[in-house]
Structure 1
């Protein structure tokens, strides 16, 4: 029994390559089924996690699978994932990572706890992982192995957030966005801010901007109800997404983070906005993967465009990672990994235990059949019972006694110790 993890993230792949592998939540169930079919006939457990900063495939093998069979699935999984991103397997391998067994679990635990995030301790990832697991379960792609690993990852994440200060760093990205705005514009109280999207990241960033009391805040979102709900919480105005291009000149700061597969703000729209603003500068922050704002926008004069990777560099440069909290969190992860590795080892012995039960049951049935035939022939009951118990005892001791008699040196001493542990516990 083992677990495999394959993926690419903000540390291994550039932004535009990551964007090619992004999968919307509603497509995860369909994709895990497709991957299972691609990995047939192994029929492994499969889950896929896809967020702004990572796309990862988790594969679980049953207790009957040997490590050789598990590793044989790595290359087909890479080929399938490469096809989803429209790239060559060789290019994907160059920008991806592969983990197996306890190390795959360690990776999952660190991801759930926010330790592998672009911004240390960001809270969205745990909810995203839970949603991915639900989708895999609904698609019938989860089994005992992955279910156990993910449930333990959620428990580790909860412990990390409750016992360390990792969660305090989740605000770093939002704080960095505000600092950028303050560096470009002296007085945010005189600036109009547009938020495109209504997810957790936008809400976090918008909350930080709201504390600066800008002149105006507006929310544009594809779902009018969700956009209205966020706008009401912030005391902001609401803008229909269809009117985004027309309204763009009205805003000094634009921050976008949606799940759109195509850019929402193109070069032409920004050029027209700059012309209408008479070249007054605009700050644009694109936190989405794939991008919400066409990258060519960054080439325009008077436009200051930052991506999610740019903000992460700002966060790290400002020293907002606290190593004491990280060390404490890593210790919690290590304990969780050790526990899961022990569980994997125990589960790996399930086929052996099943084989032992079958063998002893076969012996029992064979000797019981002999005893019943002897009783039917009228033999003495005590003699039949004596023969039954003697035969069973000899069968169960035969293997151990044969090894004791046939071994020598270190092997013999190991068999002596094993037999004592198995059959003579009280005398050891």
Structure 2
């Protein structure tokens, strides 16, 4: 059996594989690129395994005029860059000692040893340069069946790196079908406390990848049942609400929304998520914007009120808050009132026609009062349904300035002012 794909036939790929095959060298594609090609999913990263040592890999790359970067040299990984595309090339390895967070490894020329140290059978798939599949552990059958199964003894695999607990659920969310593998699920439950030894950065990265899957409902339910969810996110108790977010997303054909899912999962108790998941400032800000807006959304609110919220929060935050609020309300995906609110996401808020310079030109005194006046004018404009045009707003501003005595005695732009 052979895999196929544009990436496999690309000039960059062919050049890298040819360079590694020089002088009797051997190299195979491995892991995600093989699995995804097999399943018809997008291939982003191309990983290559080889018995060649990192020094030999770099020597062959130099001879072929291919750039090499020792990105993970301590782990046997060299990144080759051909025609602007990176290829991670890693020497075959076997575990010498494992520590629950990382492993001490040694190089090997035994493909079976390399396969045996991988996490799941669907990730222990290899392919020759021409796409011919090499399946030492039955990963083909598991991948096609949507069965995420640990390589060998699940307890041993998890003991090597406790992050594999989260990877088990993440891979099921992305590639699994039906129920979670029972043996793997039991092993995750038995070792859940081991996640306490894993850094927040690693946990956050895996969790956010899981939350970005099209349908992570079964995976998250499994995490809750095994105690994994409580271990990594103590405030994540509303599994049914998060499941309703996914149901609404599918019904509306929305892309997955990790942040709105987290808001629903925690019922808005998002305060600890930035630290526990090591969210970026941008991610944390978006999460907080959704959390703040959700309580202000009412399925009975009028269109004018809704548009005012969209103007203030932005369409992206509005969309995410509507879906999160919808899910937390318990309403089903066919609720017409919530559908109408979601539909307002298509409305493009207008830009406020005035700025501080406009008010200064009318004679408003510089300083904090000018900013307050501008905010008042904007609030009046919003309350009026955004109907007032620039000319009308300027007239309104002039009246307010005159009424408050803010107009200069000699008028705007008076000499000597």
Q: Please say whether Structure 1 and Structure 2 have the same fold, judged by a TM-score greater than 0.5.
A: no
| Rg larger in structure | 1
Q: When you count helix as a share of all residues, which structure comes out higher?
A: 1
The one of the two structures with greater contact order (alpha-carbon pairs below 8 A, sep at least 6) is 1
What TM-score do the two structures reach when normalised by structure 1?
0.29
